Structure 1
């Protein structure tokens, strides 16, 4: 993907510690010029928001994208006077490196932070699935802004402390299969990660095929994260009659698939339609020239190219002021940015509605926020007592990578 300006001129994201030091140095330098209202905020005790994500995972950009969305939204909330009558929001970050055990430790640590009202999770569904019981035990609102496996929100805990503003697999698979069918490609091979995420997508695909009847599943190719070759699974799917391969993969495994398919004879190449997971890392540079030789598209819930111009400019004006981005065209992992940005604003409304930092009260207030006009859409309401999913099928779109790495909506 094209390079973001986050953290300076490095061609990819700086390390989490380096980026945060730069961010806070800029913030400290800006304090002198702040209006009196914002200086008053700085003297008030903060209301804290946590984010636990895969910051230290090599080549990943998902956690950094989530952090960008949160930082921009927090700056806007604080610029407008903060929450609870003048208290600033403050972000507390933790790195789980995509490891469930680290995530559990981080959640307990964050739960012990004074006046921390909620924790935003990262990209990986297996981590979030394991975090749900602990979040419930701690009565800690857990906010999903990337992880898409259905069980993260569809569980038996009541009242539920988990809210999602992101893609979910029960919407993803129908959209991808229907997109393929619209293109005349009705026999889909499924290339799935051997994880809870992959199994969630298989269940969604089977339900959809069983009820809609527009597509058939030509086969399933399971792979494990980090394998050195996956082309045998792809070739098996094509041999079974797959006219398109629908791939549930992250950036590294997805790029490996692209590179290996590009080396096959043209007669063995079929289109690749990816779940959004590939956008959470350096997919484009890892693919190299192979990407532009194949028919590759990816599912998204948001594009800066299609966003309301006023909302987009509001976001970009704050991002530029923070030194976090200069233009929307090459913001990496745009869905993670937009999901986190919109949900932080909704959380701020809920904290004000709760009237305190009491977490059960904030949880209840998230179900009662009536309206918010965000970057992705107008939420009216974002959540209810019976619906903890903020996005629906209308937000889904298919995108493609331009030659310059920008991810743009598919015109077809």
Structure 2
């Protein structure tokens, strides 16, 4: 009799336990990992990507999350070392709550991880790395989705800008990496097909190379009227400090890829930056933006970092691209009605219109196109006296 009387209470306990487990499971966060160069001295790119992702996740969570679950941004430090990135990816792939990984600035690292990304069938979101081969990778199905610059677009814009500055002969200084090779290929294509400029010399350098200034002089003596420079912040600081010591007539205009904006280039370059005609390619600026999305992101930055001043946003493209990518991923998860990685990958190729920070996307990605931006997103910019990266007019006066 006693057992019979206790049976309903036991059933109630079992039911309550089952409901509690279901609720806990439903509330388990969906994780998006940012794998980047967090531990690299003077680098700000990974931190910017993380900030943009966190702001987007906070907005989504405030609206109820995705599939009834909150988003959580987790991070791994690869220190820009491919072997570390590979280990991080393998570890993250074992966590069923990780639906996608976001890379950061270094194209060579991302390119090295492509085979493993596709072996693991782990969606990779790219908010920064620009090498064309990252999305044009030959994998079917393709697990990489980029909302960022492509080297083809960057170098075309840089070559056009050089021509607008009056340079019909250009020299190219580029790293001996996948990023450098991708950039050179794009520059040559732009010179032949669009700008009809002469590339008088190409000089290669390795990371940390102390001979950059000597290579610059080789380009100048070859007749270059402008320097097309593919670099990150460290090498750019070395070059500009050397150039600032040269006679004014030996200082060529420097037209730079955007790697320099992912570190403390402005602070390290100091007064030498104002001594050189220096421009950098970009895809987004918070300066002058009054639209509701930009205002929300700036408010999010103020809350997250204590800095919501549009002129003081650190590595703005990293923040902006990561923000939009997280929103697009959330839409894909909702569309897939699942966090299954293959289903989410398929959904990313079939998203509808999205009004984001970088504008309106009619269809961000398709089966054939895994780059959400276009050449129209690209513009040239310059560092102002306060360190802000200011967009330049589309057609500066030639001289």
Note if 1:73 corresponds to 2:36: no
| Alignment RMSD | 1.5
- Equivalent-residue separation in structure 2 for 1:313 and 1:410 (angstroms): 22
- Shift in Å at residue 316 of structure 1? 1.5
CA distance in 2, matches of 1:199, 1:298: 19
What's the counterpart of residue 196 of structure 2? Answer: 214
Q: Equivalences for 1:9-408 in 2 at 5 Å?
A: 44-84=27-67, 86-408=68-390
Contact 2:163-2:195 at 8 Å conserved across structures: no
Scaled by the length of structure 1, the TM-score of the pair is: 0.88
Instruction: Name the CA distance, whole Å, in 1 between partners of 2:249 and 2:322.
Output: 42
1:324 deviates by 4.7
Distance 2:119 2:41 in 1: 31
Unaligned runs of 5+ in 2: 1-22
Q: Taking structure 1 as reference, are residues 41 and 187 closer, same or farther at Cα in structure 2, changes over 3 Å only?
A: farther
Cα pair 2:169 2:200 within 8 Å, conserved = yes
Structure 2 Cα separation of the partners of residues 391 and 323 of structure 1: 27
The alpha-carbon distance between structure 1 residues 319 and 43, as it changes in their structure 2 partners (threshold 3 A), is farther
**Distance in 1 of aligned mates of 2:195 and 2:120:** 43
Aligned equivalents of 1:308, 1:143: Cα separation in 2 = 27
Shift of 1:275: 0.3
Unpaired stretches in structure 1, ≥5 consecutive residues: 1-39
* CA positional deviation for 1:42: 11
CA distance in 2, matches of 1:191, 1:90: 40
Q: Deviations over 1:166-208 (max 9, x none)?
A: 1110111111001111222121110101111000011111122
Distance in 1 (CA, whole Å) between partners of 2:176 and 2:306 is 35
For 2:150 and 2:349, the matched residues in 1 are separated by 19
2:268 counterpart SS class: helix
| C-alpha distance after superposition, 1:357-400 (max 9, x if no partner) | 10000000001111111111111111011100011111101111
- Cα 1:198–1:306 shift into 2, 3 Å: farther
Q: Distance in 1 between matches of 2:25 and 2:242?
A: 53
- Classify 1:217/1:80 alpha carbon distance in 2 versus 1 (closer, same or farther; 3 Å): same
Deviations 1:226-259 (A, max 9, x none): 1224111111111111110010000010111111
**2:213·2:242 contact (CA, 8 Å) conserved in 1?**
yes
Q: Distance in 2 between matches of 1:369 and 1:209?
A: 35
Range 57-66 or range 315-324, more displaced: 315-324
The alignment partner of 2:183 has SS state of helix
Query: Given that residues 27 and 69 in structure 2 are in contact (C-alpha distance below 8 angstroms), is that contact kept between their aligned partners in structure 1?
Result: yes
Distance 1:239 1:265 in 2: 14
By how many angstroms is 1:404 displaced? 1.0
Shift in Å, 1:114: 2.4
- Asked whether the equivalents of residues 41 and 82 of structure 1 are also in contact (C-alpha less than 8 Å), the reply is no
Instruction: Please report the TM-score for the alignment, with normalisation by the length of structure 2.
Output: 0.91
Contact between 1:41 and 1:87, CA under 8 Å: does it hold in 2? Answer: no
| Aligned-partner Cα distance in 1 for 2:181–2:66 | 40
> Which moves more between the two structures, 96-105 or 166-175?
166-175
Residues 45 and 105, structure 2, Cα contact 8 Å, conserved in 1:
yes
Q: Which moved more, 1:117-126 or 1:319-328?
A: 319-328
Shift of 1:43: 7.8
1:320, CA displacement in angstroms?
Answer: 2.3
Aligned pairs, number = 372
Q: Secondary structure at the match of 1:189?
A: strand
Question: Contact 1:231–1:261 (CA<8 Å) still a contact in 2?
Answer: yes
Deviation at 1:124, TM superposition (A): 0.4
